[in-house]
Amino acid sequence: MKLSETGEGRIRGYLFVLGRSLGSFLPRDVAKDALQEIESHIRERVEQMDALPDERAALEKVLNELGSPLRVAQAYSVEMVVDEALATGRTGAIARALWHLATTTVGGFVATLGLFVGYVAGLSVLAVAALKPIFPANVGFFFVNGLPHSMGALFPAPAGAEVRGGYWIIPIALAVGLWILVATHRGSRRFLGWWRERRSNDGGLVPRRPSDVPPR
């Protein structure tokens, strides 16, 4: 279908709002590339349409299938950061992808919350290893009246508490903390991979090759 000037104006208006929305989620150069790619996708779809019953109806059908500019910008930005996280495996990229999913989907929020707890737990255990040689009387297993009270690092220690556990706690805490962090990181990548595969099976937003994902 060949568009009239009115139809071209409708597309330009849609792309203008989309460009502003993309700019609020992505760096300027990345947003520019994304806008060009989505524009190409729209025009390909328009060319495949018949101007029936009229041009306006056909064009609105294409744009409605794609979604509102804000929704498209949100979905596109999430797909890009997830692709980057899966391609690089970097902690920063994975954190950005999880944050985007947490702020745009309910399932992403729940999963990110669980993974966040895992990261915090791993760092907390590593903190025990770091604090033991500095505060030996405040790190270990705490017993009150011979009964277990708590474990970890307490400031101040409970009144009358007996601290058990020598410096052997350090290598154990290091090993456990690192294991938790590695397991959580792998879990994050698996979750992102599952989400990306589900999006691909659902048709995604705009078909893209992995090589099309620009570096950040």
Q: What confidence tens digit (pLDDT) does each residue in 170-189 have?
A: 999 999 999 999 999 999 99
The pLDDT value recorded for residue 50 is: 67
Burial of 67-97, coded b for 16+ CB within 10 Å and e otherwise, reads eebeebbbbbbbbbbbbbbbeeeeeebbbbb
| Predicted confidence (pLDDT) per residue in 189-213, tens digit | 999 999 988 887 765 555 443 334 4
Name the phi and psi angles at 133, rounded to 5.
-70, -20
pLDDT over 80 (residue 55): no
Q: With contact defined as beta carbons under 8 Å apart, do 129 and 194 qualify? A: no
Q: How many other C-beta atoms are found inside a 10 Å radius of the C-beta of residue 17?
A: 14
126-157 tens-digit pLDDT: 999 999 999 998 999 999 888 888 888 888 88
d(CA 51, CA 3): 9
Number of H helices, E strands in the chain: 7, 3
